[in-house]
Structure 1
Amino acid sequence: MKLRLIIEGAVLTATLDDSAAARDFVSLLPLSLTLRDYAGTEKVSDLPKRLSTVGSPPGVDPEVGDLAYYAPWGNLAIFYRDFGYSSGLVRLGRIESGIEKLQGARGEFVVRFELEKAP
C-alpha cells in the first residue's frame, strides 16, 4: 500500500509493509498527528490506539526513512537518522521520497497521513 505524508504542503510518499501492524495503522487513516523530535534520530507521535503486533519480530534495526511503531509506548516513529536494533520496534514501511523534509523540521509540526489514491 502506498501512503502520503503531507507536511506544510510538501508531500512525502511511503510504501507500507504487508503486516498486521501496518494494516491496523491504515485503519486509522486519514490521520493528522503532531510529531516531535526524539533523541535527534526520529520524529515521534502518540497514536490514538495501540496497533496489533501479531506476527511481528521481537524488534528491528531501523534505517533512515523507516516508518515504525514502538509497541512498548504505543507511538509512531519515523527515523531520519540511522539507529541500532530496538526490541519492541515494529517496522510499518519505508518513506521513499522527501525524508529530508523531516530531517530539517524543528519543534512540533503536524503531519497528515493518507492512503495514496490509485490513478
Structure 2
Amino acid sequence: MLRLALAAALLLLPACTGSPPDTARPTTTSPGAGWQDTPAPADRSTPMDIRVTLDGTPVEAVLNDSPAARDLAALLPLTVDLEDFHGTEQIGCPPRRLTTTAAPSPAAAKAGDLAYYAPWGNLALFHRDGPAPSNDLLILGHLDAAPGRLARAQKITLETAP
C-alpha cells in the first residue's frame, strides 16, 4: 500500500518547473522502468571535453561517456540557474529531459558530482555526498571545486571546449 501511495505521489510531481517539491527524493534501489542492468563503468570520469563556469568562474570538470552525459553535451552551450536542495546539492532545470537509456548501475553521488535526477528532470550539483544509490540518479560527471564553492553556486554554464 505504501509503495502504491509513493508511486502515485511521484506521478503528481511536476517536471522540472523551477521549484522542487518540499519532500525528499526517494532513494529506491530497485530497477525502474526503462533502466537496463548494465554495469557502471569503473571510471566515473571518462573525459568528454567541456568547459564549465560557476557564476562566471571557470572550474575543472569532466563529463563521463554515458548516454545521458552525451545527451547533456548535445545541449551545449547551456546555462542553468541553481538553487539549494536540502543543503546537499544545487539543482536546476535543463531545457528538456535527458535520455535514461542504458543507464549505468546506481551509484551514490559524491561531493563535486554533476548528476541528473530523472523523475524531476533536473541537474544536480552535489556539494556534499548524496544519499544511498538510486536508479533515478545518473552521475554525468565531476567538477573539481571546493564544496563551499559548489554550495554557493547560483549559475552553472557548460560549453564545448575549444
With the length of structure 2 as denominator, give the TM-score of the two structures.
0.64
**Structure 2 residues without counterparts, runs of 5 or longer:** 1-47
Match of 1:33 in 2: 80
Query: Is 2:155 aligned against 1:114?
Result: no
- CA distance in 1 between counterparts of 2:51 and 2:146 reads 11
Match of 1:23 in 2: 70
Q: Cα RMSD over matched residues? A: 1.7
Give the drift of 1:114.
1.0
Q: How many residues are paired up?
A: 114
Conservation of the 8 A alpha-carbon contact between 1:70 and 1:89: yes
Which one has the largest radius of gyration? 2
**Structure 1 residues without counterparts, runs of 5 or longer:** none
Q: Which segments of structure 1 move beyond 6 Å, counting only runs of 4 or more?
A: none
Conservation of the 8 A alpha-carbon contact between 1:7 and 1:110: yes
Higher strand share: 1
Per-residue Cα deviation, 1:4-52 (whole angstroms, up to 9, x for no partner): 2212331112111111100000011001110000000000001111111
Higher relative contact order (CA 8 A, sep 6+): 1
With the length of structure 1 as denominator, give the TM-score of the two structures.
0.85
Give the drift of 1:86.
2.6
- Percent sequence identity over matched residues? 41
